[in-house]
Amino acid sequence: MFMRYTFLFILFFSVTSGFAQDDAMRLLQKVKAKMDRVNDYAATGKMRTDVVFIKAPVSNIRVYYKKPNRFKINRDGGISLLPKGGVSVNLNALMLTNDFTALDAGKATIAGKELRVIKLLPLQENSDVVLSTMYIDELRLLVLKTNTTTRENGTYEMEMQFGNYADYGLPDKVTFTFNTKDYKLPKGITLEFDDGSKQQQLPKNKKGRIEISYASYQVNKGVSDAMFK
Amino acid sequence: MWSLLRIELYKIFKRPRTYISFAAIWAIVSLIQLAIYVDGQRYMEFFMKDLAASFEIQGNMLNGYFVCFIILQTLLIHVPLLIALVAADMIAGEANMGTLRLLITKPVSRTKLMISKFLASAVYAVLLLVWMAILSLFLSMVIFGTDGMMNAKSYEIIILEKDDIFWRYALAFAYAAVALITVASLGFLLSVFAENAIGPIVATMSVIIVFTILSTMDIPLFQQVKHYFFTTHMIGWKGFFDVKVDADGNAIVGSIANLPAVLRSAGVLLAHTFLFTGAAILIFRKKDILS
Amino acid sequence: MESIIRIQGLTKHFNHFKAVSDLSFTVEKGDVYGFLGQNGAGKSTTIRMLLSLITPTAGSIEMFGLPLATHRREILRNVGAVIERPDLYKYLSAYENIHLFAAMSGIEVKRNHLMEQLAQVGLAERAHSKVRTYSQGMKQRLGLAIALVHDPQLIVLDEPTNGLDPQGIADIRNLILMLSRQMNKTVFVSSHLLSEIEQIANRMLIIDQGKKLVEGTVQNLFRTDDMILHLQTTNNLLAAELLQKSSYAKQLQEWDAHGMLLRLSKQEVPQLVAWLVQQQIEVMSVEPRFTLEDYFLKITTANQHVESFTH
């Protein structure tokens, strides 16, 4: 009797998990299909840096994307620091491969919205991404949040807000959050001006944030390869 | 006073040795510019190695503004020596030449003579700095172009917009002028005690080097007193290359992070200048001229 | 007679060393005043005090009727000086040097005037050569031109013939005489050579170990019948004390417990002895030591010290 229930449980579980896995993949495929409509885009926007050890002004940026995975953020002149493996990694690039396993991780409520949680496990052993968790608005087929762990570049979070370009799956605003504790600053070989302020050490265990607000997208109008150099 | 100042400036600029300083500045700046032009990329890669592991750095880092920033670091050791060469010679050099006794027998007050000599050495310091600004800033801008600038400190990185830099350099050079005039006033004071310029020149540089070393040592006693050393405040020009941030942590273009601190440091330098120069004048007024 | 320099009780100590002690003298307008003494006697120190290079420890200096301590600039407008070997700006030319110092002297600087001054000392042709190319004699002449450029009333010369050849010495001598006789300047000149002073000065003072030895007109000081006599008594210190209070005070040169030196003519000796006896002082010996000239030569020749009484 016990064995029977156990067998039934295992059967039910594998069927439902199998169903769940299929279900997750189907959702992802739908999201991907939506995003697939975008072959390329050129966008303008503003980038805000909120990292405790970086003082950077709000800068005007241009963002370029071309299928399948070419993505570039260019500042309009000046110097910029972008955390590696995060902002430079585009969602499309992540999803527009089939080299992952999707696992249904249930649901979560974020900002009063119920979102489907799906975990992506890359199949390739040499993939930099170890695990990526996506929070998807099932109704609108939009990824509102991702939490990605990488081999080389730590863990980061991306939150998307959609508006005018939701139909293309292109966000109005992307907030990229990452850990700063492992970052090292250039070796100081010259004296520094001590203005008496208390903070003179690299702060530890703080999170950094980079926020990109897109003003406009030019979708599928063609983007030259030279833009990605 | 104006005619005395003109006479002192005439003596300084008629002397061939004065131009060694201008040539030395040209040599130092040119060498740094050449090194950066030839090997700057490698230097940047080494310098940014740890940061580049975590961040993608965009923009032309190796531009004229950054090069000038590197050159200005030499302000602490090389340029004060060149200032001391003239300032420490103002009285001691005249005593050594034997001309001091002739000057004092002229119907000119010792106080006015001293003030004009000090002002002449200050004018020389400013002209040397202007020359340095032309070579290190303007020439660097021509050779390396301009872009934004990254001021990398040990605990934070400040990114400045291209259009937000030039005025900071104008203020930085003005501050550097105050710092170098303080060095000149120290050399001038020590010059009163000697009949040969070598002693005061060496003494001036020794003071700067020793106090700089003491202020960098992590010993509580020195950390407490370092704010009284004028050398600690010579680096205050760097304060112009720091910005305030808004509530969201974004740098505010056109701001200075801690202007009161920079002004306080400038005030300390000015106070030292008055102290050194005042002491020099008071001592000289009573001094028996035996040379 | 208008006094150009009046010095009272001038004293200068350097730590414990007394360079000048209680010196008093007067220089009248038009004098060529010789200031004589061996090296280290205090001449340069006195001159430096006159020119406000050194602050006196005690005493007063008046020049042109004004105290130097409070009217320094006013006084120095009328003083030209050459102190020891004239050191000038070697990297400048003669013209540039004289231009510079003329500007500091408070006069309107005119090129013609400066060239005239240089011509007067025979440097017009080398006016634009750097001073580092000049000989010692040329530098001396340039120093004089600089001292005279602002037409001062008083010229102070400290050992002006040091390091010069005989022709150079003669040139300086003639210049001084010209300044005095033709331009009516007052000249205060120091030297350690009696022969020099004798030829140019009308009045002189001899200084030794910071103290005045003698002062007077050259004529009077070198009266040929005067001698320096060595006097020994049974109580030398008491005798010296009494002489100082008497009319013989100015003739008393030096004294100690072993004896004293007086400047007297032979004819005055018996009177002196009689006077001493009246004062209950017994005279043991009176010996002629030197003629006056011998004496001055002895104390003013370089590298020789005044011999003590005991010799």
Domain boundaries, chain B: 2-286
Q: List residues bridging with C261 in a β-sheet.
A: C230, C254
Identify the closest residue of chain B to C91 by CA–CA distance: B15
Q: What is the pLDDT of residues C37-79, one digit of tens each?
A: 888 889 999 999 999 999 999 999 999 999 999 999 999 999 9
Percent of chain B whose pLDDT exceeds 70: 99
Confidence of residue B153 (pLDDT cuts 50, 70, 90): confident
> Which is higher by pLDDT, C237 or C253?
C237
Hey, are the CB atoms on C79 and B105 less than 8 Å from each other? yes
Query: Are the C-beta atoms of B88 and B273 separated by less than 8 Å?
Result: no
pLDDT, residue A2, reads: 57
Output the 3-class SS for chain A: CHHHHHHHHHHHHHHHHHHHHHHHHHHHHHHHHHHHCCCEEEEEEEEEEEECCEECECEEEEEEEECCCEEEEEECCCCEEEECCCCCCCHHHHHCCCCEEEEEEEEEEECCEEEEEEEEEECCCCCCEEEEEEEEECCCCEEEEEEEEECCCCEEEEEEECCCCHHHCCCCEEEEEEECCCCCCCCCCCCCCCCCCCCCCCCCCCEEEEEEEEEEEEECCCCCHHHHC
Alpha carbon of B246 to those of A213, B199, B239, B243, B256: distances in Å? 17, 51, 18, 10, 12
Q: Which residues of chain B neighbour C90 with C-beta distances below 8 Å?
A: 97
Residue A79 contacts B, CB cutoff 8 Å? yes
Numbered residues of chain B with Cβ closer than 8 Å to any chain C Cβ: 3-4, 7, 10-11, 14-16, 97-99, 101-109, 286, 288-290
Q: State the greatest distance between any 2 C-alpha atoms of chain C, in Å, as a whole number.
A: 74
> Which is higher by pLDDT, C308 or C53?
C53
ipTM (interface predicted TM):
0.86
Among candidates A55, A200, A203 on the partner chain, residue whose Cβ is nearest the Cβ of B158? A55
CB atoms within 10 A of CB C54: 22
Confidence of residue C302 (pLDDT cuts 50, 70, 90): very low
* Entry field: residues in chain B: 291
Confidence of residue A203 (pLDDT cuts 50, 70, 90): low
Under CATH, which number does the domain C3-217 receive?
Answer: 3.40.50.300
Among candidates C53, C73, C91 on the partner chain, residue whose Cβ is nearest the Cβ of B101? C53
Fold assignment, C223-300? Alpha-Beta Plaits (3.30.70)
Hey, are the CB atoms on B105 and C74 less than 8 Å from each other? no
Rounded Cα gap, residues C35 and C194, in angstroms: 10
Q: Is the pLDDT of residue C171 over 80?
A: yes
Taking all residues of chain A, what is their mean pLDDT, rounded to a whole number?
Answer: 79
How crowded is the C-beta side of C236, counted as CA atoms within 13 Å?
18
Query: Are the C-beta atoms of C233 and C239 separated by less than 8 Å?
Result: yes
Identify the closest residue of chain A to B62 by CA–CA distance: A79
B145 three-class SS: coil
In this prediction, residues A55-64 reach a mean pLDDT of 90
Percent of chain C whose pLDDT exceeds 90: 53
Identify the closest residue of chain A to B44 by CA–CA distance: A186
Q: What is the pLDDT of residues A163-198, one digit of tens each?
A: 988 888 889 999 988 877 655 666 555 677 777 776
Taking the C-alpha atoms of C213, C219, C222 and C223 in order, what is their torsion angle to the nearest 10 degrees?
-120
Residue A187 contacts B, CB cutoff 8 Å? yes
Taking all residues of chain B, what is their mean pLDDT, rounded to a whole number?
Answer: 92
Identify the closest residue of chain B to C156 by CA–CA distance: B105
Which of the residues B20, B106, B286 would you substitute to probe the C interface, choosing the one with the greatest number of C C-beta atoms within 10 Å?
Answer: B106
Rounded Cα gap, residues C160 and C34, in angstroms: 12
Q: Which residues of chain C neighbour B108 with C-beta distances below 8 Å?
A: 73, 104
Q: How far is B99 from chain C (nearest CA, A)?
A: 6
Q: Which residues of chain B neighbour A153 with C-beta distances below 8 Å?
A: 54
Alpha carbon of C23 to those of B152, C20, C60, C61, C305: distances in Å? 71, 7, 10, 10, 20
Taking all residues of chain C, what is their mean pLDDT, rounded to a whole number?
Answer: 87
Most confident segment among A26-40, A63-77, B230-244, C262-276 = B230-244
In this prediction, residues A71-98 reach a mean pLDDT of 70
C78 three-class SS: coil
Confidence of residue B142 (pLDDT cuts 50, 70, 90): very high
Q: List residues bridging with B158 in a β-sheet.
A: A55, B151
pLDDT, residue A66, reads: 87
In this prediction, residues B220-247 reach a mean pLDDT of 89
Q: Which chains sit next to B, with 3 or more Cβ pairs under 8 A?
A: A, C
Q: Which residues of C234-246 are buried (b: 16+ CB within 10 A; e: fewer)?
A: eebeebbebbeee
β-bridge pairing C226-233 and C283-291: antiparallel
Hey, are the CB atoms on B98 and C76 less than 8 Å from each other? no
DSSP type of residue B1:
-
Rounded Cα gap, residues B97 and C115, in angstroms: 24
Confidence of residue C305 (pLDDT cuts 50, 70, 90): very low
Q: What is the pLDDT of residues B83-134, one digit of tens each?
A: 999 999 999 999 999 999 999 999 999 999 999 999 999 999 999 999 999 9
* Entry field: residues in chain A: 229
Residue A71 contacts B, CB cutoff 8 Å? no
Residue with tokens 């008497």: C246
> Which is higher by pLDDT, A93 or B25?
B25
Q: Is the pLDDT of residue B196 over 90?
A: yes
Most confident segment among A69-83, B221-235, C127-141 = C127-141
pLDDT, residue A90, reads: 60
In this prediction, residues A133-157 reach a mean pLDDT of 87
Among candidates A54, A78, A88 on the partner chain, residue whose Cβ is nearest the Cβ of B148? A78
Q: Which residues of chain B neighbour A73 with C-beta distances below 8 Å?
A: 58
Domains and CATH numbers, chain A: 2-183+202-221 (2.50.20)
pTM of the model: 0.83
Which of the residues C89, C92, C156 would you substitute to probe the B interface, choosing the one with the greatest number of B C-beta atoms within 10 Å?
Answer: C89
pLDDT, residue B14, reads: 94
> Which is higher by pLDDT, B64 or B221?
B64
In this prediction, residues A50-68 reach a mean pLDDT of 87
**Chain A and chain B touch, per 3+ beta carbon pairs within 8 A:** yes
Confidence of residue A18 (pLDDT cuts 50, 70, 90): low
Q: Which residues of chain B neighbour A57 with C-beta distances below 8 Å?
A: 159-161, 164, 243, 250-253
Most confident segment among A206-215, B187-196, C102-111, C297-306 = B187-196
Q: Which residues of chain C neighbour B14 with C-beta distances below 8 Å?
A: 89, 91-92, 96
Query: Are the C-beta atoms of C134 and C169 separated by less than 8 Å?
Result: no
C98 three-class SS: helix
Hey, are the CB atoms on B50 and A193 less than 8 Å from each other? no
pLDDT, residue C303, reads: 39
Query: Are the C-beta atoms of B110 and B116 separated by less than 8 Å?
Result: no
Residue A48 contacts B, CB cutoff 8 Å? yes
pLDDT, residue B103, reads: 94
> Which is higher by pLDDT, A106 or A187?
A106
Confidence of residue C310 (pLDDT cuts 50, 70, 90): very low
How crowded is the C-beta side of A60, counted as CA atoms within 13 Å?
6
Rounded Cα gap, residues C72 and C56, in angstroms: 14
Identify the closest residue of chain B to C146 by CA–CA distance: B102
Q: Which chains sit next to A, with 3 or more Cβ pairs under 8 A?
A: B
pLDDT, residue A3, reads: 58
Domain map (residue ranges) of chain C:
3-217, 223-300
Query: Are the C-beta atoms of B233 and B265 separated by less than 8 Å?
Result: yes
